[in-house]
A and B are shown apart, each in its own frame.
Chain A
Amino acid sequence: MIEFHLETRSGVPTYLQLVQQVRQAVRLGILRPGDQLPTVKEVVEQLTINPNTVLRAYRELDLEGLVEGRRGVGTFVASGQPPLPPDDVKALRSSLQRWIDRARAAGLDDENLAALFADTVRPPTISRVA
């Protein structure tokens, strides 16, 4: 089971925050195939959020094939969702650490560092603006 949290200042829509937290938990092996997600009622109680938001998030995860809803029972992590191999995660983490050390040595502070990373990862926002 995972516990959701919300970053209200992040600007990321609430439903998407839930989706991302499930995706990440599956990738990191915190959630494994067959594990149950919290029920809509539990999430509503815990976070005081709109149940439609939770339903929306679970529907999206279902469409992605990451989870499957079983009527009247709950929502479960689908099988065939291998987490990232722990060794690879470890290797990537250490090479990222080397990159961070280099960036710091070049004079970037944490904020610049995060901005550079986010800017590189994210596709240009201009294309998806309404």
Chain B
Amino acid sequence: MTAALETRALGKRYGSNWALHECDLAIPEGSVTALVGPNGAGKTTLLQLAVGLIAPTTGTIEVLGHDARAEPLHVLPHVGFVAQDHPLPRRFTIAETLKLGRELNPTWDDALAERRIAELGLSRRQRVGTLSGGQQAQVALTLALAKRPKVLLLDEPVASLDPLARREFLSGVLQAVTESGITVVLSSHIIADLERICDHLIILSRGRTQLVGAIEDILAGHRLLTGPRTSPGGVARVHDVIRESHTERQTTLLVRANGHVYDADWQLHEVDLEEIVLAYLGHDGGVAETEPAAVAAR
């Protein structure tokens, strides 16, 4: 596996507060990775570190094998970055915005930019400030894609969009993945729909990675166990209990299974991604990585 983005013991501290701490992860080339977590989890910090907008306090982060601050020319021309709320010069027309992109980027693909603007049904004379939120997001995406990037980083790109604009924006991203096989990292606090868009997942919470892995392995490696009320002791010795809840007569556990669960006392159920993510966001444990063992045991 070649990593498009890789961090080792990465940390970023603001004052006494670690926005990101002891972060180890690798994002495979060609994947579409969701970076999920509540506001303040460290998602934006991680993306800004990737493109060198801020410097790490500890550890390293590499994009396409290079450090964006030490060797910006090996990284920045190949990275499309759409910042939160996709800031664009509001008084510029679309034509002027594209000209800016053309002047600033040696690898600019004018035909791609013009084609996208036409497909979106926008006029080159429209001013950016007069566009809807969804259209502005699409223009920002056009700027990023016309660079012909190898890696596309999107910080909360759809948080402020209505469902239709959200779907259209993501469709644009996925078309780029289909056509040029780019790697996409997409931060979001909206969990719904991620499973159809993404193939890898990183859950961040309070500056720490809670779970990193391929979505398929994550789904295969987690189970919901229900049974008569008991303490999770026996299960917890073998598997990681992510969440437990009890009623008077019943106990429900969400576990990350280490190998097979063969316990006649428990009924096993599959869990969907949203439930797994929510369980981790409410969980205080350390890093869990989907180990090959969990995959092989399927």
Contacts and interface: CB of A to CB of B under 8 A. Distances in A.
Interface in B169-200: 170-171, 174-175, 177-179, 193, 195-199
A40 interface: yes
Interface residues of A, number: 22
Contacts of A6: 196
Q: 7 smallest A-B Cβ distances: which pairs?
A: A51-B178, A49-B196, A130-B297, A130-B220, A48-B171, A130-B298, A44-B174
A41 interface: yes
Contacts of B179: 41
Given A41-B175, A130-B294, 13 more contacts: A13-B216, A44-B175, A45-B171, A48-B170, A48-B174, A48-B196, A50-B174, A51-B177, A51-B178, A52-B31, A126-B261, A129-B223, A130-B295
Contacts, number: 71
Contacts of B198: 50
A39 to B, nearest CB: 9
- Best-surrounded residue of A8, A9, A13, A50 (most CB of chain B within 10 A): A50
Given A8-B196, A45-B171, A128 B177 contact: no
B199 A52 contact: yes
A50 B223 contact: no
B219 A13 contact: yes
8 contacts: A8-B195, A49-B174, A50-B196, A51-B174, A52-B31, A52-B199, A129-B260, A130-B220
A125 interface: yes
Given A13-B219, A129-B268, A52 B171 contact: no
A105 B94 CA distance: 67
B257 interface: yes
Contacts of B259: 130
A53 B199 contact: yes
Contacts of A41: 175, 178-179
Given A13-B216, A44-B175, A52 B268 contact: no
A47 B221 CA distance: 26
Contacts of B174: 44, 48-51
Contacts of B170: 48
A8 B294 CA distance: 24
Nearest to B198: A50
A11 interface: yes
A62 to B, nearest CB: 18
Interface in A1-54: 6, 8-9, 11, 13-14, 40-41, 44-45, 47-53
